[in-house]
Amino acid sequence: MKVEVIAGDDGYFQDLEGKGYRAPGPGKYRFGSFLSGTKQPYSVLWSQSHGVVWIDLNQNRNFADEEPLPDASKHFKVTFLPDARYIRTAIPGSPVAITMDAVYEKASAHTTEVLSLIAGNSFLGAEANGVAPASQLLPVVDGGALHNLIESFLLAAETPAVDVMTLSMSIRSFPNDGESFLALMLDRIVTTYGKPIFDGTDNNLCRVAPRGVTSVAQGTVASGRNVWRAMERSVK
């Protein structure tokens, strides 16, 4: 729930329970709160006139010492909640995007994230899209075992509507030289059905990541990328 509040010349205002807060400056704001995925409450302050939002990340009831965030539906900027550190520690916490209407916390699994990056359309009702927003997807569960992974690729390759294939996981085995059983099977699937496999080269920030066994098969296309150093510094 959001309520209208007015901060005085010193920036101070009170919520409906009488708790005092400090805004970045005097004026009219909308004030509210949300629960993170770990059930931690965070206070939020919206300035409609300036089109920015503040989250009280350090929980000191002072929005003046927090970074103003632009409307995520227009500027595509996120911040991170400090109470929900990821297991894979490059990201400092749970990412949050805020528009002038709502708060969106990352709550999806890895596969959903990959599918969104591929075919997402009008994120948060704005102009940001995935790589191929008009594409159609056929998710196939791999089952967590080698033979199931091969069967999943066969199922996708045998489906007439499928043009290209990819996977949202990295697999490493020894030797990682394109001669493993999995690599040979993937090469045979691509050769038989004439449908390429595009395989990402893992996540390693500003460095091009090492390729997994699925990337070194002869019939697959390793799709690499890196992140500029300014972004790497911002997530450490």
Q: pLDDT per residue over 202-224, tens digit each?
A: 655 555 555 666 777 777 887 76
Cross-strand bridge partners of residue 20: 14
Own/partner contacts of 138-145, CB < 8 Å, gap of 24 or more, are: 138/162, 139/111, 139/115, 142/167, 142/169
Question: Region 134-148: what's the mean pLDDT?
Answer: 81
- The pLDDT of residue 107: 59
Summary count for the chain: helices (H), strands (E): 5, 13
Confidence of residue 86 (pLDDT cuts 50, 70, 90): very low
- The pLDDT of residue 172: 59
Residue 199 has pLDDT above 60, yes or no: yes
Q: 56 or 109, which is more confident?
A: 56
- The pLDDT of residue 88: 44
Question: Region 105-119: what's the mean pLDDT?
Answer: 72
Confidence of residue 176 (pLDDT cuts 50, 70, 90): low
**Contact, 179 vs 209, CB < 8 A?**
no
Q: Which residues contact 40 (CB under 8 A, 6 or more apart)?
A: 81, 83, 84
**pTM higher than the cut 0.75:** no
The C-alpha torsion from 18 through 21 and 26 to 28, rounded to 10°, is -60
Task: Report the SS3 class of residue 197.
Answer: strand
- The pLDDT of residue 206: 52
- The pLDDT of residue 122: 76
Residue 229 has pLDDT above 70, yes or no: no
Question: Region 142-171: what's the mean pLDDT?
Answer: 84
Residue 230 has pLDDT above 80, yes or no: no
Q: 200 or 63, which is more confident?
A: 63
- The pLDDT of residue 41: 87
Length, in residues, of the chain: 236
C-alpha span between 57 and 74 (Å, rounded):
22
- The pLDDT of residue 235: 47
- The pLDDT of residue 53: 92
**Contact, 55 vs 66, CB < 8 A?**
yes
Q: 7 or 92, which is more confident?
A: 7
Residue 35: in which H helix or E strand, if any? strand 27-35
Question: Region 166-172: what's the mean pLDDT?
Answer: 70
- Average pLDDT score, the chain: 79
Residue 226 has pLDDT above 50, yes or no: yes
- The pLDDT of residue 190: 92
Question: Region 136-159: what's the mean pLDDT?
Answer: 85
- The pLDDT of residue 175: 62
